[in-house]
Structure 1
Amino acid sequence: MVFYFKARPEAGDYTIFMGLDKYENEELIKYGFPEDIWFHVDKMSSAHVYLRLQKGQTIDDISEGLLEDCAQLVKANSIQGNKVNNIDVVYTPWSNLKKTPSMDVGQVGFHNSKMVRTVRMEKRINEIVNRLNRTKVERKPDLKAEREAVNAAERVERKQQLREKKNDVRNWKGLKRKDKQR
């Protein structure tokens, strides 16, 4: 089961999601998208929360409001983190998550610790958590199939771009020949 949330309207059309438990988190880790940003309470147990950015966007494009929505959701879904103030929430691109066979279910590391960012959450803001929870939808997606569909679409797009590039080169060479003949 995956829980989906809608970010604050002024932030734009973004989806925030998290797994039901550590086993679902394992699937989210395995079948994430390049546009996904992963959030977790630092040094405490918490939900794995993801923000799906628009194609072409990076971690630098996350607005303060969107960042606060994700961090508040992580804090609210951490047994320890929800009880204390002044916690750190770490976040990084999904592609930076590292999973090794020796790690427990749901546990991750990072390929590059310099790509991990931290935001301090002074306290839980119930307005934000309640607004997000009102948008909560439960689904049982086939994460593997979704990922495979995206991969297939990207392959088709790359092939089309290569065809267009070849045609451009052929057209350019044809123009060059015509110029030589003149």
Structure 2
Amino acid sequence: MVFYFTSNVVSPPVILFMGLDKYENEDLIKWGWPEDVWFHVDKVSSAHVYLRLNPGQTLDDVAAAVIEDAAQLVKANSISGNKMNDVDVVYTMWANLKKTESMEVGQVGFHKEKEVRKVRVVRRNPETINRLNKTKEEKQVDFRAEKEKRDRLEREDRKKLLREQKEKERVDQKRKQEEAEMRSYSSLMKSENMTSNYDDGNDSDDFM
């Protein structure tokens, strides 16, 4: 089961989502998308909240208001973090999450610490949580099927782009060849490059 929340602090609104429990979180870690941003309360147990970006977007494209919504959501879904003030929420791209066999279910590390960002949540904001909870939806999701579909479409787009690039190169090569042939033909047709029976001192019409 996955919980979906609509954050309407930006236009168009964006979707935040999180797993039901640590086992759902494990599936989200395993089958996450490169476009996913992961949020978690720093150093204490909490929900794993995700924001899915559009292809090509980065962390710098995420509005501060959306980050605040996600941070409030993970804090509210942390048993200990929800009771604390001045907590840090860490967030990073899904591709930066590191999972090893020795880690417990739902536990993750990072490949590069420098790619992890933090935002301070001074206190719980009931208005934000109430607003997000009013949009809450529960859905059964086949994480693997969703990821495989996404990857298949990406491969198809990549193949299409490669075909288009090859076709463009073919057209460009043909154009360059035609232009080269035209320049060569124009050069041959210049009067100084043309010959006649009077050339080389031959002023007779006779061939012999």
Asked if structure 1 preserves the Cα contact closer than 8 Å seen for 2:41 and 2:75, the reply is yes
Relative contact order, CA 8 A, sep 6+: which one is greater?
Answer: 1
Task: Report the Cα distance in structure 2 between the residues aligned to 1:146 and 1:39, rounded to whole angstroms.
Answer: 21
Shift of 1:10: 2.9
1:172 maps to 172
Q: How far did 1:71 drift?
A: 0.2
Residue number in structure 1 paired with 2:160: 160
Match of residue 151 from structure 1? 151
Return the letter of the residue paired with 2:63: S
Greater shift, 135-144 or 55-64, is seen at 55-64
Instruction: Within 5 Å, give how 1:43-82 maps onto structure 2.
Output: 43-82=43-82
- Within 2, Cα distance between the matches of 1:173 and 1:142? 47
Equivalents in 1 of 2:92, 2:35: separation in Å?
Answer: 11
Deviations 1:12-36 (A, max 9, x none): 3311000000000000001111111
**Residues 9 and 66, structure 2, Cα contact 8 Å, conserved in 1:** no
Cα RMSD for the two superposed structures: 0.9
Structure 2 partner of 1:90: 90
Do the aligned residues in 1 keep the contact of 2:4 with 2:137 (CA within 8 Å)? yes
Matches within 5 A, 1:12-161: 12-161=12-161
Name whichever of 169-178 and 35-44 sits farther off.
Answer: 169-178
Q: What is the TM-score when the length of structure 1 is the normalising length? A: 0.97
- Residue type at the aligned position of 2:141: P
The alignment partner of 1:40 has SS state of strand
SS at 2:73 equivalent: helix
| 8 Å CA contact retained: 1:2, 1:18 | yes
Aligned equivalents of 1:41, 1:9: Cα separation in 2: 21
Matched with 1:5 is: 5
* Residues 81-110 of structure 1 deviation map (CA, whole Å, 9 limit, x = unaligned): 001101000000001000011110000000
2:179 aligned partner, one-letter code: D
Which one-letter code corresponds to 1:149 in the other structure? Answer: K
Q: Percent identity?
A: 58
Deviation of residue 150 (structure 1)?
0.7
Q: Residues 11 and 65 of structure 1 are in contact (CA less than 8 Å); yes or no, is this contact kept in structure 2?
A: no
Structure 1 runs, 4 residues or longer, greater than 6 Å off: none
- Give the TM-score, by structure 2 length: 0.85
Deviation, structure 1 residue 180: 2.4
Conserved? CA contact 1:8–1:65, under 8 Å: no
CA distance in 1, matches of 2:164, 2:90: 42
Structure 2: gaps of 5 or more residues: 183-208
Q: Greater Rg, structure 1 or structure 2? A: 2
Is the contact made by 2:9 and 2:65 (CA closer than 8 Å) also made in structure 1? no
Contact 2:40 2:47 in 1 (8 A): yes
Counterpart Cα distance in 2 of 1:167 and 1:132: 48
Specify the SS of the correspondent of 2:38.
Answer: strand
Residue identity matched to 2:82: N
